[in-house]
Structure 1
Amino acid sequence: MIPPTWNEFLKFISDIQDNELDKPLLSQYIRIPNKCMTSFQIIQYFSSDFQKSKIKRRCKWGDTEKYFLVWCVSKLIAKLQIKFHEVCQFKVFEKLSIILGIPEEFLLKKWLGLLKYKLKEQPWLPEEDDLLIKLRQQYSKSKDWLRIAMEFIKRSQTVRYPKQIRERFNNVINPNINKNEFNQDDILFIFQQTQNKKKNWAGISKNMPGRTDNQIKNVYNSIIRKISNEIRMNNNEKKVDEQVIVNLIIQKKNYDPKLISQLYGEGRRKKPCVKIEPNSDNSYTSGPQIQGIPIQMVCPYINYQPYQFQNIYCCFPQLYLLPHQKPISNLNLQ
């Protein structure tokens, strides 16, 4: 029986109070904070800083508060001789909340935040899925995932993150999920939506009932990847412009990799050119001209020799003339 007060708690763990934490064992399950303290420092910290500022520190905890929580939980695990994943079954956080004067939900949330990623890789069992569906039906509000996670951990023998539980239900076991393949209209709609909502998959999924944001993201990335590989293979392109691919798919209403790759390559090969011809006039404007305009007026800082420009086609970026004249790209060049 875990005592309800701090002093009684210290008496309860008095035989193991000064033992150092088994960090090699703990590090398999949680991220140990950098701030380490002895048992004497822990006791002093609780009676001074933690007691005075515990209300202010409920939202954001530093390494000191996190290590204090790890120390308390670890001592209870060692004293009760329970396994790591059994802390909720033995109501460790419920008792600890009475001792520290902090809500159980808050302590559990902080503890879950210390868990290592490897725990998320545990495969889901059918019993877990059934329990999660029942809990979601019981707590149907969109913001009840932390409560669902707490109930899930208490009733099952595994530890799961609230985010992990939410994603498992929304993307895998939700009975309302449409698991049929996407048809052509669905795929074209996704690409049209990316122009308005960029890659806001959650926002796009709201316009596609029964489809999850994860499904939509996977379909989009799969098509982009196939087309990009086709472009690199056929056009020797190292870097592919994804937005150009999206525009071509929407314009042609087709996402066939070979067709989009062909159109992509044709668009890359088309470059704006202007024809530069020499001027036979012997005035000061004699020299290469563009539609009668001396090249030195267009690009006054370019050194040139008149004979070098004869019958040569050169590519220029969009250049501007004098303030009262139009851009070169808008002129009727021959």
Structure 2
Amino acid sequence: MIPPTWNEFLEFISDIQDNELDKPLLCQFIKIPNKCMTSIQIKQYFSKDFQKAKIKRSCKWGDREKYFLIWCVSKIIAKLQIKFQEVYLYQVFEKLSNILDLPEEFLLTKWLSLLNYKLKLQPWKQEEDDLLIELRQQYSGPKDWTIITREFIKRSQTVRYPKQIRERFNNVINPNINKNEFNKDEILFIFREAQNKDKNWAGISKIMPGRTDNQIKNVYNSIIRKISNEMRMNYYSEVDEQVIQNLIIQQNNYDPKMISSLLEEFKRKKPCVKTESCSDYSQTSEPYFQGVPFQMACPYISYSPFQFQNIYFCFPQFYLLPHQSQIATQNFNET
């Protein structure tokens, strides 16, 4: 039985109080802060700084507060000779809340933030999914995921993150998810919105009922990847991706062969405009065309790498980026 007060707790763990924590073992389950303390420092810290800090429960915990919590939980695990995953089964945080005079939910939330990311690799069980669906029906608010996580852990004795639980429900087991294949209209809509919303997948999913942000992102990336494979591109830049976006939107088609053939056609074209330097603007690095800044004279002329050296594309709705202007001028002068 874990005693309810700090002094009784120290007496309870007196035989292991001064033992160093097994950090290699702990690192398998939790993230150890950089700043650690000895047992003597722990006791001094609790009597001084922690008593002051615990009043400010909403403030962000530093390394000392985190290590203090890890130290307390680790001592209880060692004393009771239980496994790491059994801290919830033995109600460790309920007992610790009495010792530290802090709410159990608060301590559990802080503990969850320390869990090692590798714990997410644990496969989900059917009973866990069923419990999660039940809890989500009970707590349906947008900010209820922390509550759901606490209830989930207490009832399943399984270590899960709030983010992991939220993503599991939203992307996998939500009954409202539309798991049918995306049709043409949906895919074209995704590309238009990806351009307008700068690939804000969560924002796009809000205007596509039944489709998750993960589904939308995967469909988008899959098409971009298929087009790049058709072009035999091992790497594509952000500018390349923007050009593909523009082509798909203008052609109202995302067929990889069609889009790649259009790009190949532009590749075979000769340069459609000649850039020249103007003596009146010799002090600037911006290219000029017939004495006028290039972007003002030819707002629809674009250069895109696509691994085609010294090729300049003429395509409506494309624009010349400043760093591309310098590249275009340099390449032209070399020729």
TM-score normalised per structure 2:
0.80
Verify: 1:243 aligned to 2:242, yes or no: yes
Q: Equivalent residue for 2:30?
A: 30
Aligned to 1:284: none
Cα distance in 2 for residues equivalent to 1:14 and 1:145: 38
**1:224 and 2:217 matched:** no
Residue 245 of structure 1 deviates from its aligned partner by: 0.5
Shift in alpha-carbon separation, 1:238–1:57, aligned structure 2, 3 A: closer
Q: Please show how residues 58-137 of structure 1 align to structure 2 within 5 Å.
A: 58-137=58-137
Cα distance in structure 1, aligned partners of 2:236 and 2:202: 31
Does the C-alpha gap of structure 1 residues 242 and 7 become closer, same or farther in structure 2, counting only changes over 3 Å? Answer: same
Cα separation, 1, equivalents of 2:105 and 2:75: 20
The number of residue pairs the alignment matches comes to: 292
Could you say if the C-alpha distance between residues 322 and 27 of structure 1 is closer, same or farther in structure 2, counting changes exceeding 3 Å? closer
Q: Give CA-to-partner distance per residue, 1:238-263, whole Å, 9 cap, x none.
A: 75710110111111111111110111
Q: Could you tell me the percent identity over the aligned residues?
A: 74
Change (3 A) 1:237 1:14: closer
Query: Structure 1 254/99 Cα, relative in aligned 2: closer, same or farther at 3 Å?
Result: same
Determine if the alignment matches structure 1 residue 253 to structure 2 residue 252.
yes
1:151-300 matched pairs, under 5 angstroms? 151-232=151-232, 241-268=240-267, 269-274=269-274, 298-299=278-279
> In the alignment, which residue of structure 2 is the partner of 1:310?
none
Deviation at 1:59, TM superposition (A): 2.2
Using the alignment, how far apart are the partners of 1:253 and 1:8 within structure 2? 73
Distance 2:138 2:281 in 1: 76
Corresponding position of 2:289: 319
| Structure 1: runs of 5+ lacking an equivalent | 276-294, 303-315
1:180-225 superposed Cα distances (whole Å, 9 cap, x missing partner): 0001111011111112211111111111110000000000000001
3-state SS, counterpart of residue 232 of structure 1: coil
Q: Determine helix, strand or coil for the equivalent of 2:72.
A: helix
Are 2:93 and 2:108, in contact at CA under 8 Å, matched by a contact in 1?
yes
Q: Kindly provide the CA deviation profile for residues 127-181 of structure 1, in whole angstroms up to 9, marking residues without a partner as x.
A: 1111111111111111110111111111113200000000000000000000000
Residue identity matched to 1:319: F
Task: Pick closer, same or farther for the CA change 1:62–1:238 going to 2, 3 Å.
Answer: closer
1:328 & 1:241 partners in 2: Cα distance?
Answer: 23
Contact 1:232–1:238, Cα closer than 8 Å, also in 2: no
| Inter-CA distance 127–53: structure 2 relative to 1 (3 Å threshold) | same
CA offset at residue 237 of structure 1? 8.6
Tell me, which stretches of 5 or more residues in structure 2 are unaligned?
A: 300-335
Instruction: Give the distance between the partners of 2:128 and 2:207, measured in 1 at CA.
Output: 30
- Matched residue SS, 2:19: coil
Q: Secondary structure at the match of 1:164?
A: helix
Alignment deviations for residues 103-149 of structure 1 (CA, whole Å, 9 cap, x no partner): 22221122111111111000101111111111111111111101111
Larger C-alpha radius of gyration, 1 or 2? 1
- Taking only aligned residues, the RMSD between alpha carbons, in angstroms, comes to 2.5
Q: Is residue 228–residue 236 contact of structure 2 (8 Å, CA) maintained in 1?
A: no
1:255 and 1:4, CA in 2 relative to 1: closer, same or farther beyond 3 A?
Answer: same
**In the alignment, is the contact (CA less than 8 A) between 2:201 and 2:217 conserved in 1?**
yes
**What is the CA–CA distance in structure 2 between the aligned matches of 1:154 and 1:120, rounded to whole Å?**
18
TM-score scaled to structure 1, two decimals?
Answer: 0.81
- 1:274 shift after superposition: 4.7
Stretch deviating more after TM superposition (207-216 or 76-85):
76-85
